[in-house]
Structure 1
């Protein structure tokens, strides 16, 4: 079955809504705490619980995509995530809310199964383009969740956010079953086999190199988006929550612009795009670091940063799904473990730095993460060069795929 533009958009919507379930709580934590009587010191658990569930799902659920029909797997996990959203929406106390969010986070890893399925449904010549469109849904979900949550919470309260997401998840599960092709497997693998192959990935130089780039990439991303509200809400700007949320629109513009990176990857420039985008990421902090005196420079910095993050993210996944085409779900899941750890580091480190060194310290931190990613790319170029040599001289399966992608 040919992967049409409409199917790509459906897969992107699945990614967008699934990832939004993890991030929508961030702008309404104060409202949730007031409603449920949660002390300010405990509000962090509302975000952390979903992230913990997500991290667990990456390790134990995403590998299932290498052994089961992914159409049914995606539809089933969308329904389970919807149940988690329903539990969160009706929770009368913090403990039940956390159970609902943990369950949703666990099944939100359907994002990675969806990305892997999209890559496998594409021809090699269009894989990068497909990944560019589908992973744009992830960035839209992360950034758009803040805007959606702010609007719905102002209109009908924080519970309406989770009800809306529940309904969207159910509708998408029906659409997936009706629109996507069945995912028939010629080889039957046990869960043990899949987990063993998953573990072996962490010995692969190319996988580790791209994973570490993702770690530093999303640490820099997390540094910006976890603390940007602090200088914007302070003097001299004193922006409201709704006004701060509008900066997410600038981020969306940058991320969507980088969908073109998928086409560049299809022409064999994935590795070059990675290096150039990491350099842009580092430079973006020069503009973002001026938040105390220029909002326009912050907008420029946000657009460039999100463009760079999406370009690297698409290029990385294009290289990896081509290199490990026999286990795309495990590969994407393992790669996203680096993403999750990097995001967590950026989010926790930046608030600590802000309390001692202000926004300037945060900008230095974000730029340092970006430079570490660029250095990792420089060192990892030897790995890509070696893979190309192996492909030409020895016909290695993984190497051959990598050669085509990068």
Structure 2
């Protein structure tokens, strides 16, 4: 396997990898602070639970829009400057969420926050691009561990702060963190020459060409979209379950359930190692099966806290392990187009998440927790059925083609 000749002096050391992992986590956390607060936001803005669920859907749709329109610029522009500018806009959108007087304006600001949170998906291929072929899975795993911990801890932090200081304080603090991050990344990230001189319009169209030409990318897109749809379906509806009988938990306690997903985040390094050792296909099937099994357990025992706890751990193991294997595989395809590959994959990933959030919120409103879990079982089962059709050696074939 060849080294990456384009970036011989930009190999990420452990410190830089850590910085990028933290930055990814903090950036993507911005779109998850609202999840444990949905019941509170519904009451404060006097909107229905179904409408409150749209807050998560809109941040994910915004994220998908940012992936389509902003992430490809990582191949066209100098990445350090691009990351700094986008993070600066995130500061403004978070201030807008903190000040929003109505639910509609809050949702609008959440949409912008979702768009700009894609800076995390510029950092991930940046790290992958700097790594050698032999260590790419490990580097992607470490950076993604930071990103996943950001997603999980966001719920814990926002729920605790909201109970102590009010939900608006959550967004004031987040805005301050993003301002500091923009300044820090400007100083710490290396400069990197653009990877493409293609005009912006052609750059966007080339994303579609990549999807058409790369079978491995299409397959991993479907795995990812199904997995994140199930993940979003769960985290959009679990606050409603835990806020009602027999639990009656406040925001701070609901947010603490995010800590249970740390097992899934720590699984990132294990999944990266599975990929590097050639066990990507087997791991994918296992992680897909765990998704459906987790929802089955929680559907059968919705009022047993132990079942909910075990279900969360198993769900996060399945979703996050699947995600690391997906990204480690697709970054082997075309080194010169990693930002555009990220655009193709993550746009569909978050469109899947948005569909999962909206579908689960709707089903919960009319069929309760059973309806939401039925959706999760169907998504996990579909992933397993599709995995059974996967050709053996597809990832290895992609790697040989990229050498």
Same fold per superposition (TM over 0.5): yes
**Cα offset for 1:263?**
1.7
Quick check: 1:58 aligned with 2:42? no
The separation in 2 between residues aligned to 1:143 and 1:131, in whole angstroms, is 18
- Distance, in Å, in 2 between the alignment partners of 1:230 and 1:96 is 23
The reply on whether 1:241 has 2:251 as its aligned counterpart is yes
Q: CA RMSD in A?
A: 2.4
Matched length: 392
Higher relative contact order (CA 8 A, sep 6+): 2
User: How many Å apart are 1:214 and its aligned residue?
Assistant: 0.9
Indicate the SS of the match to 2:390: helix
Could you say which residue in structure 2 is the equivalent of 1:305? 315
**Counterpart position of 1:349:** 359
Equivalent in 8, 18, 27 of residue 27 of structure 2:
18
Report the Cα offset of residue 357 of structure 1: 4.1
Q: Secondary structure at the match of 2:335?
A: coil
Q: C-alpha distance in 2, partners of 1:181/1:224? A: 38
The two structures have a TM-score, normalised by structure 2, of: 0.89
* 8 Å CA contact 2:161, 2:252 repeated in 1: no
Structure 1 residue 135 and structure 2 residue 141: aligned? Answer: no
Aligned with residue 114 of structure 2, among 105, 108, 111: 105
Secondary structure of the structure 2 residue equivalent to 1:336: helix
Q: Which structure 2 residues correspond to residues 230-309 of structure 1 after superposition, within 5 A?
A: 230-309=240-319
Gap runs ≥5 in structure 1: 392-397
Q: Tell me how far apart the structure 1 counterparts of residues 233 and 241 of structure 2 sit (CA, whole Å).
A: 13
Structure 1 residues 291 and 183: CA distance shift in structure 2, 3 A: farther
Please, which moves more after superposition, 94-103 or 359-368? Answer: 94-103
Q: Using a 3 Å threshold, how does the CA distance of structure 1 residues 284 and 43 change in structure 2: closer, same or farther?
A: closer
Stretch moving more, 191-200 or 318-327:
191-200
Q: CA offsets, 1:385-406, max 9 Å, x none?
A: 4x75xx5xxxxxx55257x8xx
Distance 1:216 1:98, change over 3 A: closer
Change (3 A) 1:356 1:101: closer
User: 1:249 offset after TM fit, Å?
Assistant: 0.8
Whole-angstrom CA distance in 2 between matches of 1:80 and 1:252: 29
2:171 maps to 1:162: yes
Aligned match of 2:203: 194
Which residue of the partner structure matches residue 219 of structure 1? 229
Q: 1:221 to 1:177 in 2, by over 3 A?
A: same
Could you say which residue in structure 1 is the equivalent of 2:91? 82
- Partners of 2:77 and 2:359 lie apart in 1 by 39
